[in-house]
Structure 1
Amino acid sequence: MDTEGLPLLLPPTALAALANSWLQEDCPGLNFAALASGAFPARAALWAKSRGILAGRPFFDAVFAHLSCQISWLLPEGSRLEPVVKVAEVRGPAHHLLLGERVALNILARCSGVASLAAAAVELTKAAGWSGQVAGTRKTTPGFRLVEKYGLLVGGAACHRYDLGGLVMVKDNHVVAAGSVEKAVQGARLAAGFSLKVEVECGSLQEAMQAALAGADLVMLDNFKPEELHPAATALKAQFPGVAVEASGGVTLHNLAQFCGPCVDIISLGMLTQAAPALDFSLKLFAEEPIRPRL
């Protein structure tokens, strides 16, 4: 996937607010270690020590911009990393470099981990000859959703819905509360209007047919085993060819290929954000040469 334009999705105001909150969390009071480092001009090298996909440069930039530091990137967003490789250099006052170090590394490690797992999932579906979309879910870390959703995009996966306002999702509990699939979809349609799609989570083919008949745009076949999923998706498409079919629940990298089929349009995996291992990065500081006065 071409990742060059993806940073444009991130509003500068949101990046600045996140950077401020992350730094405030890590150092809400006195920075005692600043007296150990001092404020002399310094630079640091960012090293990648894990194999994977580089993701999260805009967040890394935002943290250090907040601390009046400058970054020179040596690799573009979405690069495939092979350890050990130098990724960037950061320049600024030593105490500011060290203040931002752990926060920035945590973000880059997490975002790159999500992107790497997403890329692995996408590659598996392509190898299976499937042309649908791999998607994440709302199973994200509180306060870190923008980072993780962005990581999905860098890895080539879809975000699914970013938040509750991106898609009207009628889940099993909504159906129970409404009394029926039909009533739940009708209620969702009142809010969705013409601009939002309505998706219904279904635990059986009967529910899926009811949802499609009631006017759902997407039907999620939830927790269907592969041998159950494909006949159900085929039957649903035969009667409602315009309805998109999503498979979700119990999907891992080990069985992902089994969920790929001609009548399945989307496969969503919560584990892309919940189970992504962080990549390993380090920031190594070295002092700038002192400027010697002319004699």
Structure 2
Amino acid sequence: MTNSYEHLLPPSWKAQVAGWFAEDTPSFDYGGYVVGEVHREAFLFGKGKHTAVLAGRPFFTEVFAQLGCEVEWHLQEGESFEPVKHVATVRGKARHILLGERIALNMLARCSGIATKSKRIKDLAVGYGYKGIIAGTRKTTPGFRLVEKYGMIVGGIDPHRHDLSSMIMLKDNHIWSSGSITAAIQQARAVGGFSLLLDVEVGSEAEADEAIEAGADIIMLDNMEGDHLVSVARKLKEKWAGKRKFLFETSGNITESNLQERAINDIDILSTSVVHQSVQHIDFSLKIQKPN
């Protein structure tokens, strides 16, 4: 039996949900006063115009759990649905349902949007014959990273590093500030030890050579495209075969329209922010049902 994605979440995640309430209702709940304590049932509908992937169930459930409401799900996490779909039923006091409504819907809309886009990009790449890793990036929203990375995982892609402590990534500013690629790698290894992978951004074949020589685990061929990207990757893999172990990553300006030319099997990792930045949210609504 497959474990729930909820089992990935850290102990602190429920406190984040409480923080959303502190932001959204810092003072009086005037609308809640109007509807009062009457118990009601509300239907969660997945809307929009296209097939979507459901993602964010644990967060949605926790929003209403903190309000004493019960959520009954009619779809599994990661399941695709066609609109309009009755996705879940929420039961509890009317004022509590409405208190959690906007927080829960906003979260679910974005998390499901990221999962939907992630699945689409992954499916396209596989369809092009790509056998490597599709990964998101760390260009996530401050305070909302956990939900966004969760959406990537539900969508079937690699979430890449979660924070600055997850992996050592040396970009152009690190290299310029330390003097050279070799110097930056040596300093990073001295404090990062053996357990952290070292990902180094390079802009040319010569820089990639230096990073490989210095012991980088992942070489990010930044903003290289087309024949140039293929040529550099193949040449370096042939040169270092049997001498060094490393992966090639490409990033920058990856879109659905140019994915096919970037999804080449000489590159091990395709990392892109297209799966989470400016992604189309999935439209959900929560409708309290009229009593019989």
- Would you say same fold, with TM above 0.5? yes
Counterpart of 1:272? 275
1:89 aligns to what SS in structure 2?
strand
Counterpart of 2:24? 26
Aligned equivalents of 2:203, 2:247: Cα separation in 1:
16
Deviation at 1:38, TM superposition (A): 1.1
1:183-216 per-residue CA deviation (whole Å, 9 max, x = no partner) reads 0010111122111000100111111110010000
Aligned equivalents of 2:263, 2:175: Cα separation in 1:
28
Deviation at 1:239, TM superposition (A): 2.3
Map 1:190-269; keep pairs closer than 5 Å: 190-241=190-241, 242-269=245-272
Runs of 4 or more, structure 1, over 6 Å off, are none
2:275 aligns to what SS in structure 1?
helix
Write the letter of the residue equivalent to 2:208.
A
Aligned equivalents of 1:283, 1:15: Cα separation in 2:
23
2:224 aligns to what SS in structure 1?
coil
2:276 aligns to what SS in structure 1?
helix
Deviation at 1:4, TM superposition (A): 4.9
Deviation at 1:15, TM superposition (A): 2.5
1:274 aligns to what SS in structure 2?
coil
Counterpart of 1:79? 79
RMSD: 1.3
Write the letter of the residue equivalent to 1:231.
S
Q: 1:3/1:284 Cα in 2 relative to 1: closer, same or farther (>3 Å)?
A: farther
Aligned equivalents of 1:195, 1:56: Cα separation in 2:
31
Deviation at 1:240, TM superposition (A): 2.8
Write the letter of the residue equivalent to 2:6.
P
CA contact (8 A) 1:41 1:288 kept: no
Counterpart of 1:53? 53
Counterpart of 1:286? 289
1:205-257 per-residue CA deviation (whole Å, 9 max, x = no partner) reads 11111001000000000001222111111112112342100010111111111
1:273 aligns to what SS in structure 2?
coil
Counterpart of 1:292? none
Map 1:129-140; keep pairs closer than 5 Å: 129-140=129-140
Deviation at 1:278, TM superposition (A): 0.5
Aligned equivalents of 1:196, 1:282: Cα separation in 2:
43
Write the letter of the residue equivalent to 2:260.
A
Aligned equivalents of 1:53, 1:260: Cα separation in 2:
23
1:213 aligns to what SS in structure 2?
helix
Write the letter of the residue equivalent to 1:135.
A
Deviation at 1:273, TM superposition (A): 1.2
Aligned equivalents of 2:62, 2:2: Cα separation in 1:
18
Deviation at 1:35, TM superposition (A): 1.6
Structure 1 gap ranges (5+): 290-295
User: What TM-score, normalized to structure 2?
Assistant: 0.95
Query: Which 10-residue stretch deviates more, 240-249 or 109-118?
Result: 240-249
Deviation at 1:287, TM superposition (A): 4.8
CA contact (8 A) 1:15 1:62 kept: no
CA contact (8 A) 1:41 1:287 kept: no
Aligned equivalents of 1:157, 1:240: Cα separation in 2:
29
Aligned equivalents of 1:117, 1:177: Cα separation in 2:
36
CA contact (8 A) 1:3 1:77 kept: no
Aligned length: 287
